[in-house]
Amino acid sequence: MTNPGSMSEPENKDFYLTAISQRSKDVPWYYPPLRSLNPSALQILQAYSGIQSEEEAIAHVLRIREKAWQIFPYPCIGSYRFLDFSIHSNPLYPILLSDVSDASSPNSFLDLGCCFAQDIRRLIHDGASPSLIYGAELRPEFVELGEELFLDGDKEYGKIYTEVDVFEPSTLETVRGKDGSEFKYVHMAAFLHLWGLEKQHLVLKNVITHLLSTAPGSTLLGRQAGNKIPGEYSHPTNSDHNMFRHNPATFKKLFEEVGEELGVEWASVDVYEEGWGQGEDGEGRKVVEGHRETYFAGRDDTKLTFVVRRA
């Protein structure tokens, strides 16, 4: 478990725990101010949110990041990953989008652990029908900040349920899609990796039992951190201070085991593995001028994208 680029330094645990409770910015996943925005984020902030210039958009993003950091200093906030709109890079995206673009369709989409609900804004911006788009989030403050970030005005962006805890079935039972239905699509980005393996089992069981439609073709999709060497790694911002990082084989095994326990069969379990976009020097992709994303770009760290369809 000596992985120089990941958050797997047990000896730093106490330092990080104090830093997190004090919302200190002296942690490696708090990146310096942005000088430019990725093209997709800039497009949404201009075309959807109506912000005029890149300069204004950057100042706006930095203000929201400061507020979010005080709520909880997740790596996805400190490192601007909320501007990645990761749903767009899922291979299922074109099919998903066309399936939720016709308001008369019975198929609902849920973004579980949606945080600012950036992926929901992306879907709406690309033509999804708000009547089919739903989110669920534990912390209402993040959803409110999402409204501040995206300046929705009177735009409809779907319904977001808050104070939903994936470990509390009673809260999941309140989360329903169109006409009170369960969901054809449940999206989980940077979500399952918030826990160790045992809890990932439990989360998946709860999601499948309480949220995913029983109809054939219902689909779980998303993205999360992985590692070529699968296993339990320490993680300072996770509630149990650990995370299980999968490779495609262990991720598939997780779904097979949960499926067996629940008597659910999968038509397909597709898992795509990629690196963190190391630069030519092998030291991480450049996210901000003069600053490389080495923290998430250890030699063996990966991103896993998945699409899992019910038989």
Ligand X SMILES: C[S@@+](CC[C@H](N)C(=O)[O-])C[C@H]1O[C@@H](n2cnc3c(N)ncnc32)[C@H](O)[C@@H]1O
Contacts to ligand X by CB under 6 A? 74, 76, 81-82, 86, 113-115, 137-139, 142, 164-167, 189-191, 194
Judged by beta carbon, residue 4 or residue 169, the one nearer ligand X is: 169
Looking at the Cβ atoms of 138 and 197, the one nearer to ligand X is: 138
Distance of CA 45 to the CA centre of its chain: 19
Do residues 122 and 48 lie in contact, with contact meaning Cβ atoms separated by under 8 Å?
no
Token pair of 234 as six digits:
């320490």
Q: Output the six-digit token pair for 64.
A: 């929201």
Instruction: Supply the minimum distance, in Å, between the C-beta of residue 274 and ligand X.
Output: 16
Quote the least distance from Cβ 135 to ligand X, whole Å.
9
CB 194, min distance to ligand X, A: 6
Output the DSSP codes for 22-44: TT-S-STTSPPPPSS--HHHHHI
Query: Judged by CB, which is closer to ligand X: 109, or 142?
Result: 142
Our CB check for ligand X shows the closer of 235 and 310 to be 235
- Cβ closer to ligand X: 114 or 271? 114
Shortest separation between residue 98's beta carbon and ligand X, angstroms: 22
Residue 268: exposed, middle, or buried by beta-carbon count in 10 A (0-12, 13-18, 19+)?
exposed
Shortest distance, position 265 Cβ to ligand X, whole Å:
26
Helices marked H in 72-196: 75-78, 93-99, 118-125, 140-150, 169-172
Instruction: Find the shortest distance in angstroms from Cβ 141 to ligand X.
Output: 9
DSSP-based helix, strand, coil % in the chain, nearest 5: 40, 20, 40
Alpha helix locations (H) across 114-230? 118-125, 140-150, 169-172, 197-210
Give the nearest residue (CB) to ligand X.
Answer: 113
Residue 242 bridge partners (DSSP): 234
Contact 220, 210 (CB under 8 A): no
Shorter beta-carbon distance to ligand X: residue 189 or 297:
189
